[in-house]
Structure 1
Amino acid sequence: MHILRRGTICVEGNIGCGKTTFLDFFRQKFQTTGEEELIQGQSIIAEPVEKWRNVEGENLFHYLYKDPARYSLAFQTYVQLTMMKLHMARPRMMERSIYSARYCFVENLFQLNYLSRLEYVILDKWFKHLVLSGRDEDLLDVPKDELKEKEYALLSKPTGVNLDMIVYLRCKPQKVMDRIKVRSRKEEKDISIEYIQSLHDLHENWLMSGKFPVPAPVLVLDTNCKQSSLTKLYEKAAPYLRGEKKLSNSPTEISINDDENEDNGDNQTMTNGFHQTTFKL
């Protein structure tokens, strides 16, 4: 029996929500199966952070956090390129996607005024061209009053980048901040709770509310539990990832409903509203 269904599963969520732990869990499962994809190195692919840290010797990832107004366009352009290459490798599972890059991170930088309107439009047009395999030209003659609806429909069933499932690791912003502090990436040391809240809201708007086109069924995992409970949560999700259980058209939510869930004393709630914030770096 295969550990994962055929096709590509994208693992989405805020910074520090547990994506690496999730990938490592299923990578370990793969190592016990001897499936051919693992030998080819195309089974489970992490976000290409090391590529962003070394663009011909330059750390673009660091530059983004150091001077977001200067480097947001350059960084997101390179993210689109590197994420598209990952999609083209057709992995079984990958960390994030070209979709979250557009609907969460580009959107966030634009809302925070680190991308000008022109830069935002250019990134958006390039994104649509990539995921629609050039079918964005079909939108040129659509009347303006019908454009949004037609565009949403096309992007919900893209031809250039096909996904079979999105796994959304849903986590409260304060919990995310705690995990960011523990892992101590030097580029992330000055990230503010406001920035994390903003990204959380954008993930909610996209994957839970459908404000932006969702290209595949969504499985939502509540990762607010203790670190020691995550394995139990992932085991609970495994039948969906193997294709043994079907997802509905609306997001399917899974959580650990026992006393292992942490309260942590924070009053953050899962919210669909967008908060205009400052990038306090």
Structure 2
Amino acid sequence: MTSYPKKIKRPFVVSVEGNIGSGKSSFLKHFQSQPGVKTYSEPVADWCDVGGHNLLALLYKNPEKWSFAFQSTVQLTRLNIILQPTDASVKMIERSLQNNRFCFLEIGKKMGALSPPEYVVLTKWYEWLEEKADIGLDLIVYLKTSPEVAHQRMKNRQRAEESEVPLSYITLVHDCYESWLVGDGQTRPHCPAPVLILDANRSLEEMFKVYEENLDKILGLHL
């Protein structure tokens, strides 16, 4: 008799997406105490110390020189997170491999920070991962903010690496998110999962109420 390996049941995977300063970290903190939920923040500390090199700071100072190294590192760390085993029934991650591919690689290409060969290498790596590994998402929660609100929040938190990030860059990130997750209202060709769009221009207290109102959807109990 031929034996087949048992299919491993993976958790319901939720990626919280949004601009810099949209409230992704607060979203994860709000849900981390929920039974059966495991949260994974963006590994910013890892990007700031890659063998002693602060790639995030280098990226902002000279994107043309450092985008390829930074995006390669981001892709590796996001892959590590999505493939980490967990007994939790819901796995919440801050941004995704799909975000890296269809948002930030496109930004790098548009800005000229990634050369055509560098862009092709990174997209080929993503295509290989998509084919060979289980990197799928079950829900995307898009915390939608205006670029102006996101930029002001970014300035208020005073992270050293972000001190010189202009509003024009935040606007570019916003536009890429809109293209990827909202589209023209009819088609979103590169959107890998259902999208729950939440207006995140509101205060933190108001957002906590919105999260509770959408609790079943966010935890995969009702889509």
TM-score, with structure 2 as normaliser: 0.88
- 2:106 is aligned to 107
- The residue type equivalent to 1:87 in the other structure is I
Distance 2:137 2:192 in 1: 7
2:41–2:93 Cα contact (<8 Å) kept: yes
1:242 Cα deviation (Å)?
Answer: 2.6
- The DSSP-based 3-state class of the residue aligned with 1:8 is strand
- 1:266 is aligned to none
Q: Does 1:160 align with 2:159?
A: no
1:233 Cα deviation (Å)?
Answer: 1.3
- Work out which of the residue numbers 70, 75, 89 in structure 1 matches 2:70: 75
Distance 1:90 1:200 in 2: 32
1:229-277, Cα deviation, whole Å (9 max, x unpaired): 111111112120233322xxxxxxxxxxxxxxxxxxxxxxxxxxxxxxx
Pick 1 or 2: higher relative contact order, CA cutoff 8 A, min separation 6: 2
Distance 1:205 1:12 in 2: 13
Q: How does 1:236-275 map to 2 (within 5 A)?
A: 236-246=213-223
Distance 1:84 1:235 in 2: 29
Q: Between Structure 1 and Structure 2, whose CA radius of gyration is higher?
A: 1
Q: How many residues align?
A: 207
- The DSSP-based 3-state class of the residue aligned with 1:132 is helix
1:50-92, Cα deviation, whole Å (9 max, x unpaired): 1101111111111111111100000001111110111101561
Unmatched tracts of structure 1, length 5 or more: 38-42, 134-158, 247-281
Unmatched tracts of structure 2, length 5 or more: 1-9
Q: Does 1:226 align with 2:203?
A: yes
- 2:81 is aligned to 86
1:106 Cα deviation (Å)?
Answer: 1.1
- 2:5 is aligned to none
Change in 2 beyond 3 A, CA 1:212/1:80:
farther
Distance 1:243 1:164 in 2: 8
TM-score, with structure 1 as normaliser: 0.70
Q: Percent identity?
A: 39
- The DSSP-based 3-state class of the residue aligned with 1:57 is coil
Change in 2 beyond 3 A, CA 1:71/1:230:
same
Change in 2 beyond 3 A, CA 1:224/1:63:
same
2:28–2:41 Cα contact (<8 Å) kept: yes
CA RMSD of aligned residues (A): 1.6
- The DSSP-based 3-state class of the residue aligned with 2:206 is helix
- The residue type equivalent to 2:99 in the other structure is S
